[in-house]
Structure 1
Amino acid sequence: MSGAALADPYPVATFSGLDKTTARVTKFDASIGKAVRFGALEVTVRACDKKPPEERPQTAAYVEIRQIDEEKEQVEPTPIFKGWMFAESPGLNALEHPVYDVWLNTCKTSAAPASSGNR
């Protein structure tokens, strides 16, 4: 293997998040290595991959989720979730949180446009 780093074929993960207090589901994108806020959570994707169309569907992302202390506006250092999420089996490795559910939808090549018009 050469020393050159290969670019990630799917540098963006798309998630759905449920706020259980409002019953609102929000879709959001997270680029690999960049923290994204959902409610009082910080979601960071470390890897995202999916099988080619000719193979059995499997989309997976390695994710770290940290709680945000909203009073102090600081992120807790220890993740409340750290592991693989699978789009085809959202209940297999899901975030267990009293207020939020977060699950993986897909991995893709780029983030959605910032102005989608739907909010």
Structure 2
Amino acid sequence: MKRFIAALLLLAAPAAAQTTIQGDDTVISLGNAPVAESKMRHAASSAAQAVMRGLDKLAGASEDIILTTGENTQFGPLTITMQDCRYPKGNPSGDAFVSLTIVDNSTGKVAFQGWMVASSPALNAMDHPRYDVWAIRCKLDDRTPSVVAGESSPRPIERPEGLGGN
């Protein structure tokens, strides 16, 4: 009976997982059956500027913030400093990763420090009772922001007189 149980345990135990790297692909296999395949990480490029969006939750007002590496920018009582903005090499409109330090000047405490990911703002979000700040994209040149590029107009849209006014 002990031999029978030992044989069942050997048959039921999975083979050790093995990772095989073939060119640009990583294949993780269990025994002979592949269970996961993924592309290796691609190289990233850095940009000198990042486009962030800030929201004052109390006033309901949002503002686009253009940050330059190493410089401080004020948004309400927050001082925002960008260390780096990275994007997939060869795809500047791709997913942005922005390294930030945000200090709340009213309390003197660091409200956020780390990387924000443009495609997943909730992944590593700033936790502040009144303000939200999140990454939009890396900015590669100093051309005027455009809606097509994912940025809002530099000036707010003004409503013509006589339309919907009180």
TM-score category, normalised to shorter length = 0.7 to 0.9
RMSD: 2.5
Partner of residue 52, structure 1: 89
| Paired position in structure 1 for 2:50 | 13
Q: Which residue of 2 aligns with 1:24?
A: 61
Aligned CA distance change for structure 1 residues 32 and 64 (closer, same or farther; 3 Å): same
Q: Which has the greater radius of gyration?
A: 2
Q: CA deviation at 1:99?
A: 0.2
Q: Does 1:93 align with 2:93?
A: no
Q: Does 1:84 align with 2:121?
A: no
The reply on whether 1:102 has 2:126 as its aligned counterpart is no
Instruction: Specify whether residues 21 and 112 from structure 1 end up closer, same or farther in structure 2 by C-alpha distance, changes over 3 A only.
Output: farther
The match for 2:76 among 39, 42, 59 is 39
Structure 2: where are the runs of 5+ without partners? Answer: 1-44, 145-153, 158-166
* Cα distance, 1:97 vs structure 2: 0.4
Show CA shifts across 1:13-50 (max 9, x none).
10011101111111110101001001110110001110
SS in 2 for 1:83: strand
Which of 100, 105, 109 is matched with 1:68 structurally? Answer: 105
Q: Which residue of 1 aligns with 2:17?
A: none
User: Identity over aligned residues, as a percent?
Assistant: 29
Q: TM-score, normalised by structure 1?
A: 0.76
Residue correspondences, number? 104
| d(CA) in 2 for partners of 1:82, 1:59 | 16
Distance 2:104 2:50 in 1: 19
More helix by share: 2
Q: Give the aligned partner of residue 28 of structure 2.
A: none
Contact 1:31 1:111 in 2 (8 A): no
Q: Which runs of 4+ in 1 moved over 4 A?
A: none
Distance 1:25 1:13 in 2: 16
- Which stretches in structure 1 are left out of the alignment for 5+ residues? 1-7, 70-74
